[in-house]
Amino acid sequence: MNSATTLIFVYGTLKRARSNHGWMSGQTFISQAMTQPRFRLHDLGGYPGMVLDEKQGVSIHGEVWEVDADCLMRLDDLEDIAGGEYAREWVPLLPPFDQQPVQGYRYLRELTDEPECGACW
């Protein structure tokens, strides 16, 4: 990884063969990965939202990608960082990524009736 790229953990529609995977065009797939058991995944109606749950969290299944700065800006737009839907932050992953700085998108809005969807979207 060079200084102009970022490792990103994706867990929903950005994964390979999913509806928004085209946003990852030209980027480098690294590996499948899992978060430490600190999160829950909710179905937000066509896409998932990963929320923090330190007490009863599970390990979320996803993928690690190496993305360039242009892709990262596009992903921030897609995830509506400016509008407050998601935050891009460090995501604690299980080995072999536990010692690497990997970022991901955590859902920020209040959940009402959105059902949990397990550990994998």
> What domains does the chain contain, in order, with CATH numbers?
5-107 (3.10.490.10)
Tokens 């995501």 belong to residue? 91
1 or 69, which is more confident: 69
Lowest mean pLDDT across 1-5, 12-16, 40-44, 75-79: 1-5
Dist CA 85 CA 105 (whole Å):
9
Record the tokens describing residue 118, joined without a space. 């397990």
The answer to whether residue 3 scores a pLDDT higher than 70 is: no
Q: Which of 54, 63, 66, 79 is catalytic?
A: 79
- For residue 58, the cross-strand partners are 39
- Is 79 annotated as catalytic? yes
Nearest to 50 by CA among 95, 87, 7: 87
CB contact set of 72 (below 8 Å; sequence gap of 6+) = 6, 8
The answer to whether residue 1 scores a pLDDT higher than 80 is: no
* Radius of gyration for the chain, computed over Cα atoms and rounded to the nearest angstrom: 13
Dump pLDDT digits (tens) for 18-70.
999 999 999 999 999 999 999 999 999 999 999 999 999 999 999 999 999 99
pTM equals 0.94
